[in-house]
Copies of this chain bind each other. A is one copy, B any other.
Amino acid sequence: MNQETDGIRQNGGRGRDLDAFDRKLLSLLVEDATRSYVELGEQIGLSAPAVHERVKRLKRTGAIRQTAALLNPIAIHKTLLAFVHVDTHGWGKSPELLAISKYPEVEEMHSVAGDTCMLLKVRTKDSRALEGLLARIYDVPGVIKTRSYVVLSTHMERPVQADITTEWPAPRQAARPPR
């Protein structure tokens, strides 16, 4: 096997993958990007300049897209969160529909598989504003209908996590049908 290359090489040639240090670093920075480099270094066992170098690389290579302040929606009076499914006539990715993302109330816009074409995450001041936004969506040519899921309470909401579950526990009940 390759027990020789395993464990030995931390970082190979070009565009190499993240090692354990990078992973931990990303985890820490997602949690709190204001930590000092010395503190980060203590957590993962590296010196401050080494951490600095790695963070710089993670930004350069695009693993870290941006570092942002995450706001409390209530503080800025956006108390209504909703997911809006948009069904369109034909191929839905029209420029007009994409232009909807200009509104600061729209936080996400995805093309999805399933019985709908586009999925929006929108956060507004109140139901009145949601209505205004929906009106704009219906203005887009080709939009057939929308289905909105209004959030009653958010139990958890966080940015992309660096960690990955490597081993999924087996289901408790019966074995699920394969495929």
A residues at B contact (CB < 8 Å): 18, 23, 26, 29-34, 61-73, 75-78, 81, 83, 85, 93, 98, 101, 103-114, 116, 119, 123, 125, 129, 131-133, 135-136, 138-139, 147-165, 168-173, 176
Picked from B67, B123, B139, the residue with its CB within 8 Å of the CB of A68 is B67
Q: Would you call A33 and B30 a contact (CB within 8 A)?
A: no
Contact A68 B29 (CB under 8 A): yes
> Which partner residue on chain B sits nearest A66 by CB separation?
B70
The distance in angstroms between the C-alpha atoms of A152 and B93, with both chains bound, is 12
Instruction: Please judge, given known A-B contacts A68-B31, A83-B112, whether A76 and B160 are in contact too, CB under 8 Å.
Output: yes
Residues on B with C-beta less than 8 A from A160 are 70-71, 73, 76, 78, 107, 123
Which chain B residues lie closer than 8 Å to A171 at the CB level? Answer: 135-136, 138-139
Known: A76-B18, A107-B161. A168 touches B67 (CB 8 A): no
Give the docked Cα–Cα distance between A138 and B168 (Å): 13
B71 touches A164 (CB 8 A): no
Query: Are B159 and A76 in contact, with the CB atoms below 8 A?
Result: no
> Nearest Cβ in chain B — how far from A164, in angstroms?
6
Q: How far is the CA of A135 from the CA of B154 in the complex (A)?
A: 23
Contact A61 B33 (CB under 8 A): no
- Once A63-B76, A135-B168 are accepted as A-B contacts, the answer to whether A161 and B104 lie under 8 Å apart by CB is yes
The 10 closest A-B pairs by CB, nearest first: A132-B168, A29-B69, A63-B75, A104-B163, A104-B161, A101-B156, A112-B149, A110-B151, A109-B156, A109-B155
